[in-house]
Every structure is written in C-alpha cells, then in structure tokens.
Amino acid sequence: METSNTPRTVLGAWRIIEKELWDREAIDLMGPAVMEFGRDETGLFRFIAVEGGMDCRHEQRDGRPHVEFSWEGDDDGDPAHGRGWAALADDGSLHGRIYFHMGDDSDFRAVRADVQGPASARSP
C-alpha cells in the first residue's frame, strides 16, 4: 500500500517484476529488468535481450501520474521500436504496457528500484 513517503511520480528507476508474456527468469535474462524515467522527458529500459531509449510525455490521468512514450533500441542486436504507457497504481507500483511495432505487446508491473539501470550501465 502506498504511504505518505511514497513519491507520487513515475520519475526515477523502476524494477520490472512481472510481464504478461514472459516469466521472471526470462525478463531478467541480460540483468535486472528496469525502466528509468528522467525529468528531461527521456528514459531507458531493459528486459530480456531488449534495450531501448524512450521519448516520454508525462501527464495526469484520472488524478494519477501517467506517462506515454515512444521508444527505439534493439532486440538481441536487431533494431526495434514501438510505444508504450505506464501509470502509478494505488499501491505505489507502476503498471503499463509496451508495444513492439508490428509485433508483440505485453503488460508489465514494476516497483521502485535501487538497482543499477540501463543508463548507468551505458556510462563509461
């Protein structure tokens, strides 16, 4: 359950803990599955063998923080792109859906993360 100390924003790092089409072992194939949303309307994510950069638009929907994004990156070395959305749930978790252009789409659930995300992993 969300507490008064829980930030009411989607900004920051999130640990993806559930995906509709894949189990936990699969989503953590290349390291912890994460999403990061920055204040500059950009973000990054990683799950399975997919990594992507996001172009984000933050807003409120039904009184809750919500973000819509387009993304581009790679899926096991092959170019990939798509779109998605995420919203803050009552319990403080993040719920959303990610779409691959002309391919799969999947719901996900994430919790606030203390793990090193894809932005840190790309730094020299």
pLDDT tens-digit profile of 53-81?
999 999 999 889 999 999 999 999 999 99
Q: State residue 21's pLDDT score.
A: 80
DSSP state of 81: E
* Four-point Cα dihedral 45, 88, 14, 42, nearest 10: 40
Structural domain of 47 = 12-122
Q: What is the pLDDT of residues 4-35, one digit of tens each?
A: 455 689 999 999 999 888 888 899 999 999 99
Would 5 be classed as within a structural domain? no
- Give the residues across from 84 on adjacent strands: 69, 98
Would 7 be classed as within a structural domain? no
- Total domain count, the chain: 1
CATH no. for residue 24?
2.40.128
Would 4 be classed as within a structural domain? no
